[in-house]
Amino acid sequence: MRWEQGADFMEWEVTGYEFPDRIPSGEGFDDDANWLVLSCRKSIGGRWQEGRAACLQTVDVERVVRLLTEYQDGRVHAFSFGGPEPNFYLRLKRTQSPNRHRLTLFFWNESGGESYGAAKEWVKIIDNGELEALRLFWRQVQTDFPVR
């Protein structure tokens, strides 16, 4: 998924399980078998970064899909999602304009040498079409990488 605003952009994709060869134990939720790797490229304020981090799990993806659906249905008017690691979060809230939403994204490129304090949030006002594209992106991730 790629978001652009002027010269700034943030692009990310879930590239796979952190441990793709791990076979779940079959005894409850297998934590290690369900970590996902998020790859991110971004340029914010002229600062370019690229990296990957195992910063969310399959159950987190299910939660994001549920939150986005509840938001679209009007059951919640804002939400913030951050996985179990501090590398990634997204926030969404309605603006006062109909069909407009404030999207805040954050990715800390730990593997690329970016210090946590230097990482910047990326904010964009999106419309309903972009909101649906965001939900469909996460829904596809959920389909591609189910809980194991």
Segment 33-41 mean pLDDT = 93
pLDDT at 109 > cutoff 80: no
What are the pLDDT digits (tens) for 9-34?
999 999 999 999 988 877 777 888 99
Average pLDDT, the chain: 91
Predicted confidence at residue 134, as pLDDT, reads 97
CATH of 2-144, one of 1.10.1060, 4.10.240, 2.30.31, 3.80.10: 2.30.31
What are the pLDDT digits (tens) for 43-75?
888 888 888 899 999 999 999 999 999 999 999
User: pLDDT-based confidence at 115, cuts 50/70/90?
Assistant: low
Q: What is the pTM of this model?
A: 0.89
Lowest mean pLDDT of 69-78, 102-111, 135-144, name the range: 102-111
And the tokens for 7? 């010269």
Segment 116-142 mean pLDDT = 91
Lowest mean pLDDT of 14-23, 25-34, 107-116, 122-131, name the range: 107-116
